[in-house]
Chains A and B, each alone.
Chain A
Amino acid sequence: MSDQSSNRPLAGKAVTYKALGGPEVIEIVERTVRAPAAGEVRIEVKAAAVNPTDILFRDPGFGDQFGGDTFPIVPGMDAAGIIESVGPGVSRLHAGEKVMAAVMPVRPEGGAQAQHIVVPAASVVPIPEGVSLAEASTLPTTGLTALNALEIAALKTGQILAVSGGAGLLAQYAIAAAKRRGIKVIADAKPADTELVRGYGANIVVERGLGFAKAIRRELPNGADALLDTAVLGEESFGAIRDGGIYIPVRGWGGKPAERGIKIKPMLVSDVLERTEWLELLRDMVAAREIKLRAVEEYLPTKAADAQRALVAGGHRGRPVIRF
């Protein structure tokens, strides 16, 4: 049952976008956050990971999908922090517990990059042992996306999943999830990242940039059983997939059919943000060192624009995280 003393709104800072546009639309505002309702918890956020999706939410090219009336919007899909209070009917989680949460930004309560957030308890689990809150914040939503891709691909033990953009965070988690299910992985990487991607668990790593489909076919003459296209290569990557195989785009799909009986199966991570058992699985995978969380680079909320720039620039500087 909820603690009555915590039944009041709480004030705190939030990163917001006031409109579509460049980094200049980012503003730090003071807002109040309501008490958690049935099945919800309120979290005092300590760290919120920065993801490419955050940038899409203010991208004019993607903007119309949210409608003009949704601004200001609080970005962020991953939070880690301390439970401040729990709503009625929540007994699995307790005030004071260190947790991580997958967060849906397109909702009245907004996303993860805020000092306090209210989220469904189903999207929240304790952080893995032995990692910092900042590190834990890089796991939930990207991890859920990886598990969603594996569920959608529905491959059997011994079948082969191809992953484009093998060095990325989603690729890392998807490779780990595939390995756990006994699915073989072929991924691409820059020569400098080959060992890194092998370390994620990829069975075969091909060189990036030579033409993904061609590179995969050189290793697998019949093609892979499924392709998770984290690099957003699109149609040019279909050649990597066997006849009747599966293509999983990560940014939706225009409904255009593919060649040779390839089935296109888009996914929406918002469908799986409340898969608690998956969040627990991800935590276990970190504990078992099947997933090694990356180093992070912390930014103050006022430096959110810099954090996004650092993400776009890429490189090996550590995953940007907003520190509250």
Chain B
Amino acid sequence: MSRTLEAITSPRSLASGKVDNQTMKAVRIHKYGGPEVLQSEDLPPPQVSAATEVLIRVHAAGVNPVDSAIRRGLVKEIFPVSLPWIPGSDVSGVIEEVGPDVTRFKKGDEVFALLNPAKGGAYAEYVVVSESELALKPKLLHHIRAAAVPVAAVTAWNALFETAQLQSGQRVLIHGGAGGVGHFAVQLAKRKGAHVIATASAKNHELVYELGADEVIDYQAQKFEDVARKIDIVLDSIGDDTQERSWKVLKKGGVLVSIVQPPSGEKARSVGARGAMVQSRPDGAKLAEIAKIIDSGQLAPVINRILPLSEARRAQELSQSGHMHGKIVLRVVNHNGGK
């Protein structure tokens, strides 16, 4: 008999080792450095220690550039971590235990959360999360897809709607329109009624058009500033030279929002624009709002790669390599069906 497709069905207990209450699998760093400092370890699971915390059985953890930046020790001032540190701010899973003052969630709820990157903890089988960081997982997404959402979608949301106050009909330039934050930004800006211009490498153009971009610029073939003009809002996920060249495409009164590098106030003033740096912050209420949009069928994550937790190193290498469309997700539990 030919045997095919068995690959999907390996029992979790066989594939990743049995988990009991004594130990859990986690990926930690003990020092700053390259991907090699990420180590798989067996650790005691974290405990609910505050009355408003919950313990989550992690099904999937999203991988974000900030995970690697912290690991490399590049952002110690912004995200001071205490070593050893478990990376991961994006999590989707099932509530295992709730603190006595938790009112909005109960054991067994399927949730997703955005954790403070400095605290991290998602690259593990269990994580403790404050109730305020949590929302019910979108019903349309299984855990793998849900774990791709929080950091990137909330960052895009904050940049477009809170910092830049995007209005219908405005012209938005989204650098890296196929990337983690960019692909959410394209969808959210389009949904708001903006004229969306995005940059992407040629191989990702189809994807970015599908997400709703009105114009897609191949940044390798042409200078975006030669094509994009009279922009109200630039969303910069690249920094450096790209940010520098972005000032000249802005209208007077426009906004350059960067998610990677604080824009120069001097530059902003010189072109009569505004510059701002945006990060995601844990915000369960906003996640709940995003979940609602996802369940309405208007927003979805794009998944590039799913890798097992044990391949966290490779996941971060891929994430750092750039030119990746969509999100990379670590699978912590093998079966991500759920109901």
- Contact B297–A165 (Cβ < 8 Å): no
Closest CB of chain B to A5's CB: distance in Å? 15
B300-339 toward A: CB 8 Å interface, digit per residue (1/0)?
1011011110000000000000000000000100111111
- Contact B14–A39 (Cβ < 8 Å): no
Stretch of A84-92, A124-132, A202-210, A282-290 that contacts chain B: A84-92
Closest CB of chain B to A196's CB: distance in Å? 11
- Contact B336–A314 (Cβ < 8 Å): no
B residues in contact with A266, CB < 8 Å: 7, 10, 15
- Contact B303–A274 (Cβ < 8 Å): yes
- Contact B339–A108 (Cβ < 8 Å): yes
- Contact B15–A253 (Cβ < 8 Å): yes
User: Looking at chain B, what size class is its interface with the partner chain?
Assistant: 35 or more
- Contact B335–A65 (Cβ < 8 Å): yes
- Contact B336–A106 (Cβ < 8 Å): yes
A residues in contact with B16, CB < 8 Å: 255
Closest CB of chain A to B141's CB: distance in Å? 9
A253-268 toward B: CB 8 Å interface, digit per residue (1/0)?
1110000000000111
- Contact B300–A37 (Cβ < 8 Å): yes
A194 at the interface (CB under 8 A from B): no
Stretch of B45-53, B205-213, B252-260 that contacts chain A: B205-213
B residues in contact with A167, CB < 8 Å: 2
A115 at the interface (CB under 8 A from B): no
Interface core residue of A120, A267, A270 (most chain B CB under 10 Å): A270
- Contact B210–A90 (Cβ < 8 Å): yes
Give Cα distance in the complex from A51 to B11, angstroms. 18
Chain A interface residue count, CB cutoff 8 Å, equals 65
- Given A106-B336, A268-B331, are A89 and B187 neighbors across the interface (CB < 8 Å)? yes
B140 at the interface (CB under 8 A from A): yes
- Given A65-B11, A252-B11, A272-B306, are A232 and B337 neighbors across the interface (CB < 8 Å)? no
Contact among B11, B17, B305, B337 with A108 in the assembled complex (CB-CB below 8 Å): B337
Contact among A35, A250, A274, A312 with B6 in the assembled complex (CB-CB below 8 Å): A250
A19 at the interface (CB under 8 A from B): no
Closest CB of chain B to A315's CB: distance in Å? 9
- Contact A169–B15 (Cβ < 8 Å): no
Stretch of A140-148, A176-184, A219-227, A238-246 that contacts chain B: A140-148
- Contact A66–B335 (Cβ < 8 Å): yes
B residues in contact with A169, CB < 8 Å: 2, 4
Stretch of A20-28, A56-64, A299-307 that contacts chain B: A56-64
Contact among B5, B14, B298, B299 with A145 in the assembled complex (CB-CB below 8 Å): B5
Give Cα distance in the complex from A159 to B12, angstroms. 32
B8 at the interface (CB under 8 A from A): yes
Contact among B212, B294, B303 with A89 in the assembled complex (CB-CB below 8 Å): B212
B142 at the interface (CB under 8 A from A): yes
A residues in contact with B210, CB < 8 Å: 39, 89-92, 121
B36-76 toward A: CB 8 Å interface, digit per residue (1/0)?
00000000000000000000000000000000000000000
Give Cα distance in the complex from A168 to B5, angstroms. 11
- Given A37-B294, A39-B302, are A52 and B7 neighbors across the interface (CB < 8 Å)? no
B residues in contact with A156, CB < 8 Å: none
- Given A37-B140, A38-B297, A38-B299, are A170 and B5 neighbors across the interface (CB < 8 Å)? yes
- Contact A52–B334 (Cβ < 8 Å): no
B residues in contact with A274, CB < 8 Å: 303
- Contact B337–A66 (Cβ < 8 Å): yes
- Contact A270–B3 (Cβ < 8 Å): no
Closest CB of chain B to A190's CB: distance in Å? 12
A residues in contact with B4, CB < 8 Å: 51-53, 142, 145, 168-170, 230, 250
- Contact sample, A vs B, 18 pairs, CB 8 Å cutoff: A36-B297, A37-B140, A37-B295, A37-B297, A40-B297, A53-B5, A65-B9, A87-B297, A106-B335, A106-B337, A107-B336, A122-B302, A145-B4, A165-B3, A168-B4, A230-B4, A252-B9, A312-B1
5 pairs of A and B residues whose beta carbons are closest in the complex: A252-B10, A168-B2, A106-B337, A37-B297, A39-B300
**B residues at A contact (CB < 8 Å):** 1-17, 139-140, 142, 144, 187, 206, 209-212, 294-300, 302-303, 305-308, 331, 334-339
